[in-house]
């Protein structure tokens, strides 16, 4: 498939370049070569997009019924499915992820629009018993114009979950994708217009985070902002939202534990544990990046993990191997530096995958790495690596497992592996995480499951009906009729 080389913003239904004409080169993470350009937008383009969104919200888009909005989004889901080969190829080239993963992501994106399209006219408020002779309604209304800052790890999926829910709730959106992953968001916005999302209801502005992203978070016309990315940038976004006195949803990082008790079905657990850290080359907020193993099975689990890690192959996204490259040079160097520092501190590298034969020079390849007997308080067991690096930690008691699981700043997702029913629920309740999976693990998945963090992993919930509610606010109407 030929990939176009020039991408534009989508503002008010138009394809527009930055007013300055400035562009940013799009690099292929698999070989480091430039293959396209996106506009380098700034405050002017963001302002234009916010104005277009306001016009749509106050105008034709805002006047559609919930059922009509739902139909349009359902049509968009169908169009995404009809174009899934093209979209997956684009996502694979732009982010370096294996083609099979890109295909899963595009199907998930379609499913978000399908889910929220179906949900649009099922979201309703309530009536409240109050004083005699009165009727009180608490109705759900959209915020207005919502801002969406999406990262480079799952651009299509996060576009679907964020813009899909917001549009279904009746808002108009301005999306700022990551500079490293703008291509599918731009293409999806084009398809949205074809599906009948009215001009201005869904705008995409490409550019740098520090320019277009900062301009969007600071814009007084944004009534709600949803952000997925690092804890540091999340704090900047929340600060800007606080200055505007508007709500924010923050989906930040994680250091998610997979807790393996001695009675677990290890044959079932180990492949899932490996997949949860190598999926998307570990660049998943919910990556299961710590495996906590009960001492009696520690050696056995490590051996099973090591066998799988050693067999992993890394190479270009298009070759569909176990891991693609990571997104860019900065991330590759960050991951490598964290692994090197851990090794210098005496942390044991228990197993590593290998670069596939013929992988191009210049690609941002990081070998999947299993680290053994990691002290629970070591930096590599505390901080997000955002690469295919799994830290194994040994524990002796259920109490200690919970203490280690909760012993980081994060609280996004956890996995519990045990056949003991009482323990499954005790640990699930005790672990500080927005999602807990028992005898399975859903890194990145689960459109129908409320999702979000505790502690430094963020606040607010996305996915499911909960995500839809987050894109509305409640207005109370009290009638005194005697």
Contact criterion met (CB below 8 Å) for 364 and 329: yes
Q: Is 285 a catalytic residue?
A: yes
Give 55 or 102: the residue with its C-beta nearer to ligand NDP.
102
Residues 6+ apart with CB under 8 A from 357: none
Determine which residue in the list 178, 183, 305, 447 makes contact with ligand NDP, applying CB under 6 A. Answer: 178
CA–CA separation, 200 and 181 (whole Å): 22
Q: Is 373 a catalytic residue?
A: no
Point out the catalytic residue in the list 97, 176, 255, 455: 176
The answer to whether 151 contacts ligand NDP (rule: CB under 6 A) is yes
Residues 6+ apart with CB under 8 A from 40: 18, 20, 22, 23, 24, 206, 207, 208, 211
Helices 183-195, 155-168: inter-axial angle, 10-degree rounding: 40
CB of 360 to ligand NDP, least distance (A): 23
Q: Is 176 a catalytic residue?
A: yes
Give 39 or 70: the residue with its C-beta nearer to ligand NDP.
39
Cβ-count burial 237-247 (b if 16+ within 10 Å, e if not): bbebbeebebb
The owner of tokens 């693609």 is: 324
Give 111 or 176: the residue with its C-beta nearer to ligand NDP.
176
CB of 53 to ligand NDP, least distance (A): 17
Q: x-or-dash pattern for ligand NDP, window 233-262, by CB under 6 A?
A: x--xx-------------xxx---------
- Which residues inside 319-348 make contact with ligand NDP, applying CB under 6 A? 331
The answer to whether 435 contacts ligand NDP (rule: CB under 6 A) is no
CB of 148 to ligand NDP, least distance (A): 9
Residues 6+ apart with CB under 8 A from 28: 34, 35, 93, 94, 96
Q: Please tell me the count of residues contacting ligand NDP according to CB under 6 A.
A: 26
CB of 234 to ligand NDP, least distance (A): 7
Contact criterion met (CB below 8 Å) for 324 and 30: yes
The owner of tokens 């698999």 is: 30
Q: Is the dihedral of CA 142, 143, 144, 150 positive or negative?
A: negative
The answer to whether 29 contacts ligand NDP (rule: CB under 6 A) is no
Contact criterion met (CB below 8 Å) for 90 and 3: yes
Point out the catalytic residue in the list 285, 323, 462, 463: 285
CB of 329 to ligand NDP, least distance (A): 12
Give 208 or 355: the residue with its C-beta nearer to ligand NDP.
208
Strands 224-228 and 248-251: parallel
Give 180 or 294: the residue with its C-beta nearer to ligand NDP.
180
The answer to whether 386 contacts ligand NDP (rule: CB under 6 A) is yes
Give 62 or 325: the residue with its C-beta nearer to ligand NDP.
325
Give 179 or 294: the residue with its C-beta nearer to ligand NDP.
179
CB of 254 to ligand NDP, least distance (A): 7
Cβ-count burial 30-56 (b if 16+ within 10 Å, e if not): bbeeeebbbbbbbeebbbbbbbbbbbb
Contact criterion met (CB below 8 Å) for 81 and 114: no
Q: What are all long-range contacts of 57-60, with beta carbons under 8 Å and residues at least 24 apart?
A: 57/142, 57/144, 57/145, 57/171, 57/172, 57/201, 59/200, 60/198
CA–CA separation, 463 and 115 (whole Å): 10
Q: Is 251 a catalytic residue?
A: yes
Nearest position to ligand NDP, beta carbon: 209
* Token pair for 75: 């049509």
Determine which residue in the list 48, 384, 432, 462 makes contact with ligand NDP, applying CB under 6 A. Answer: 384
The answer to whether 153 contacts ligand NDP (rule: CB under 6 A) is yes
Q: Is the dihedral of CA 156, 162, 165, 171 positive or negative?
A: negative
The answer to whether 30 contacts ligand NDP (rule: CB under 6 A) is no
- Which residues inside 199-238 make contact with ligand NDP, applying CB under 6 A? 208-210, 213-214, 217, 228-230, 233, 236-237
Contact criterion met (CB below 8 Å) for 116 and 167: yes
Give 119 or 281: the residue with its C-beta nearer to ligand NDP.
281
Point out the catalytic residue in the list 179, 211, 251, 294: 251
CB of 182 to ligand NDP, least distance (A): 8
Binding site for ligand NDP (CB under 6 A): 149-151, 153, 178-180, 208-210, 213-214, 217, 228-230, 233, 236-237, 251-253, 285, 331, 384, 386
The residues assigned a catalytic role are 176, 251, 285, 384
């Amino acid at each position: 498939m030929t990939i176009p080389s020039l991408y534009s913003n989508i503002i008010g239904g138009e394809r527009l370049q930055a007013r300055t004409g400035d562009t940013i080169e799009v690099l292929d993470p698999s070989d480091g070569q430039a293959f396209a350009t996106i506009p380098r937008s700034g405050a002017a383009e963001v302002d234009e997009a916010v104005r277009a969104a306001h016009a749509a919200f106050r105008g034709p888009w805002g006047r559609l019924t919930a059922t009509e909005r739902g139909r349009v989004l359902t049509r968009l889901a169908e169009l995404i499915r009809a174009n899934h080969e093209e979209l997956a190829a684009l996502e694979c080239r732009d982010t370096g992820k294996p083609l099979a993963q890109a295909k899963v992501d595009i199907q998930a994106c379609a499913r978000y629009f399908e889910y929220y399209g179906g949900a649009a006219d099922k979201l309703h408020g309530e009536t409240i018993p109050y004083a005699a002779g009165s009727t009180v309604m608490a109705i759900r209304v959209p915020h207005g114009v919502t801002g969406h800052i999406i990262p480079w790890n799952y651009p299509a999926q996060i576009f679907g979950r964020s813009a899909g829910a917001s549009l279904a709730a009746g808002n108009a959106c301005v999306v700022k994708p990551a500079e490293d992953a703008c291509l599918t968001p731009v293409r999806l916005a084009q398809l949205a217009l074809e599906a009948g999302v009215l001009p201005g209801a869904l705008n995409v502005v490409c550019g740098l985070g520090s320019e277009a992203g900062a301009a969007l978070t600071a814009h007084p016309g944004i009534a709600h902002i949803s952000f997925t990315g690092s804890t540091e940038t999340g704090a900047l976004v929340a600060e800007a939202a606080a200055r505007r006195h508007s709500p924010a949803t923050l989906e930040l990082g994680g250091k998610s534990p997979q807790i393996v008790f001695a009675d677990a079905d290890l044959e079932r657990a180990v492949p899932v544990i490996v997949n949860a850290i190598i999926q998307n080359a570990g660049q998943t907020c919910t990556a299961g990046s710590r495996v906590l193993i009960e001492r009696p099975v520690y050696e056995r689990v490590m051996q099973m993990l090591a066998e799988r890690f050693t067999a992993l192959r890394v190479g270009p996204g298009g070759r569909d191997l176990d891991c693609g490259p990571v997104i860019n040079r900065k991330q590759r160097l960050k991951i490598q530096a964290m692994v090197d520092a851990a090794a210098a501190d005496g942390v044991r590298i228990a197993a590593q995958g290998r670069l596939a034969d013929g992988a191009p020079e210049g690609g941002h390849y990081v070998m999947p790495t299993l680290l053994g007997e990691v002290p629970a308080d070591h930096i590599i067991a505390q901080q997000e690596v955002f690469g295919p690096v799994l830290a194994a930690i040994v524990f002796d008691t259920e109490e200690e497992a919970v203490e280690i699981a909760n012993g980081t700043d994060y609280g996004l997702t956890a996995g519990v592996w045990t056949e003991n029913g009482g323990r499954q629920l005790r640990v699930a309740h005790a672990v500080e995480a927005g999602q807990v999976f028992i005898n399975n693990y859903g890194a990145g998945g689960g459109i129908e499951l409320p999702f979000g963090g505790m502690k430094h992993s963020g606040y607010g919930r996305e996915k499911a009906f909960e995500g839809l509610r987050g894109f509305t606010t409640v207005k109370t109407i009290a009638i005194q009729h005697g």
